[in-house]
Amino acid sequence: MADRTLFQKIMDGELEGDIVYEDGSCAVLRDINPQAPTHLLVVPRKPIPSLDALTEEDEPLVGHLFVVARKIAAEAGLTGGYRTVFNNGEDANQTVDHIHLHVLGGRALGWPPG
């Protein structure tokens, strides 16, 4: 069995993390290195290493992550807008091999983002 990811350990209560929402499919954590006043991570309980590892069976789960992102953005008061981002791979600065959807807001976000 592969090593469990940092996110799995946080969701299982083995490591400390600021969980702001949980359901049977995912959890939402505050990012430990926020890039905006609000920076949340929507993390599926299923440990999918990257977007490249997604399969058709993951489609409902990924859709659920976006529905949760909308819900938590509203709860966080991000009425002026917010950005959702998946980083995929080393060049995109993916630092944990477990997909997670970033929700960033609370200030004007520039473009291009990189």
Catalytic residues, by residue number, are: 100
* Residue 36, SS3 per DSSP: coil
- The 10 Å CB-count burial string (b at 16+, else e) for 46-84 is ebbeeeeebeeebeebeebbeebbeebbeebebeeebbb
Is the peptide bond between 37 and the residue preceding it cis, with omega within 30 degrees of 0? no
The CA distance from 46 to 25, in Å, is 8
